[in-house]
Structure 1
């Protein structure tokens, strides 16, 4: 039987990934891209992967950095909104 601590960690990770996805989507829309596929194509990111990122599915740190660079912002700027 999983421990309460493990269950809490999984829930925290899920919420963090959802916040990441929401932030990525908000930045894409702010950049004027109503369609995530066009943004991904233009920045040479796999369209299917980018869709997963916006949905808050797991991603590698190197993938997150590529997305952040596509927005032309720093890591600090990325995490300046939507995260506690």
Structure 2
């Protein structure tokens, strides 16, 4: 697999992760990423970049965010896989 293909795959995955986190935030009633980040003691700019798929989220940051949503890494990615399968049908 070439470097360009790997970058494309990473970019798509980061966007999907960010979109899922945005959906989770909105389900909690937060319309603003800034308010969510502030209320949960997360760096606001970093959180915005994660939601927008603009940064390579670390496992540490992802686990912290998922803990806020009371999700495990397995549950989070299982949901992403379910969404992917549903869109293929």
Q: Describe the superposition over 1:33-55 as per-residue Cα deviations: whole angstroms up to 9, x where unpaired.
A: 11111111111101111101100
Q: Which residue of 1 aligns with 2:87?
A: none
Relative contact order, higher structure (CA 8 A, sep 6+): 1
Q: Describe the superposition over 1:10-34 as per-residue Cα deviations: whole angstroms up to 9, x where unpaired.
A: 1001001001100100100011111
> How many residue pairs were aligned?
81
- CA RMSD, 1 decimal: 1.4
Aligned residue for 1:81, secondary structure, equals helix
Give TM-score scaled by structure 1 length: 0.87
Runs of 4+ in 1 over 3 A off after TM superposition: none
Q: Which residue of 1 aligns with 2:36?
A: 39
**Structure with the bigger percentage of helix:** 2
